[in-house]
């Protein structure tokens, strides 16, 4: 009988890039390589309960704003030796949270992953693709953002997650038209150069909602400047 494990691709926008949480394996197989957090499914657990427990115990990530099942990875040879079937999850951490991590655990840019254990790089890419897709047709941006934010900050989060620069004007227009954003009535502190304080917004709902099932957030075409990327 196969062993059943649960794994989580925990993503966060940090320092302007989409990053994933990995820990370095201390034992064979794949000793020294970077691995997704997780472990074996407990006998009395469902898969989501198990991954939330293991994240809290192993890497102190308890402030996840969103967790969803990603896929089952069941290739017979995905792990050497005993067959191991993995249920993988996508987890998101908001940009204003900085979890305390043990020494063997670190954030890594999704676009420049280190040498990873087993099929974990494929799981990370699938998690990135799921996030990108859902940013188009749901309100999942709430899981990347803090409680309050400027439109400029939100644009940077979407740009990092999608992998190309998004227009702040178009982003605000689309999200506001869908009823996802509301002004807080407050402004952000002025920056070092002064200027007009930027208005603060928040997501109306901090729970996943499908807002436009046919929307696709498209990257700029070759004959159009990056700043004009639009969301139909």
pLDDT digits (tens, 9 = 90+) for 182-195: 999 999 887 666 66
pLDDT band at 63 (very low <50, low <70, confident <90, very high): confident
pLDDT given at position 183: 96
CA dist 60 and 102 (Å) reads 9
Q: Reduced to 3 states, what is the DSSP secondary structure of residue 210?
A: strand
| Overall residue count recorded for the chain in this entry | 232
Local structure of residue 111 (DSSP, 8 states): G
Helix H or strand E segment including 153 = helix 151-162
Question: 83-94: per-residue pLDDT in tens?
Answer: 999 999 999 999
CA dist 101 and 59 (Å) reads 5
φ/ψ of residue 49, rounded to 5: -60, -40
Domain span(s) for CATH 3.90.79.10 in the chain: 3-123
**Entry pTM:** 0.91
Name the CATH superfamily housing domain 3-123: Nucleoside Triphosphate Pyrophosphohydrolase (3.90.79.10)
Please give the average per-residue pLDDT across 106-113, as a whole number: 97
Question: 157-208: per-residue pLDDT in tens?
Answer: 999 999 999 999 999 999 999 999 999 999 988 766 666 889 999 999 999 9
CA dist 201 and 194 (Å) reads 20
Q: Is the pLDDT of residue 155 over 70?
A: yes
pLDDT given at position 191: 66
Q: Is the pLDDT of residue 68 over 70?
A: yes
In the CATH scheme, what is the code of domain 138-228?
Answer: 1.10.10.10
CA dist 129 and 57 (Å) reads 27
CA dist 150 and 135 (Å) reads 18
> Which residues, in sequence order, are CB contacts of 15 under 8 Å at separation 6+?
none
Domain span(s) for CATH 1.10.10.10 in the chain: 138-228
């Amino acid at each position: 009988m196969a062993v059943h494990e649960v794994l989580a691709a925990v993503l966060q926008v940090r320092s302007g890039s989409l990053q994933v949480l990995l820990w370095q394996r201390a034992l064979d197989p794949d000793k020294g390589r970077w691995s997704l957090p997780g472990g074996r499914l407990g006998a009395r657990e469902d898969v989501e309960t198990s991954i939330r427990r293991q994240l809290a115990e192993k890497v102190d990530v308890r402030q996840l704003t969103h967790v969803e099942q990603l896929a089952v990875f069941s290739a017979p040879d995905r792990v050497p030796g005993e067959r191991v079937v993995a249920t993988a999850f996508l987890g998101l951490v908001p940009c204003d949270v900085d979890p305390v991590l043990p020494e063997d655990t670190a954030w890594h840019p999704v676009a420049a992953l280190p040498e990873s254990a087993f099929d974990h790089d494929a799981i990370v890419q699938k998690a990135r693709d799921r996030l990108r897709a859902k940013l188009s047709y749901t309100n999942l941006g709430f899981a990347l953002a803090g409680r309050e934010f400027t439109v400029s900050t939100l644009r940077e989060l979407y740009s990092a997650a999608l992998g190309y620069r998004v227009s702040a004007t178009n982003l605000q227009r689309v999200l506001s038209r869908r009823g996802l954003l509301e002004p807080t009535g407050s402004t952000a502190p002025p920056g070092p150069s002064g200027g007009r304080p930027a208005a603060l917004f928040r997501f109306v709902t901090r729970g996943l909602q499908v807002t436009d099932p046919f929307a696709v957030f498209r990257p700029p075409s070759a004959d159009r400047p990056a700043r004009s990327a639009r969301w139909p």
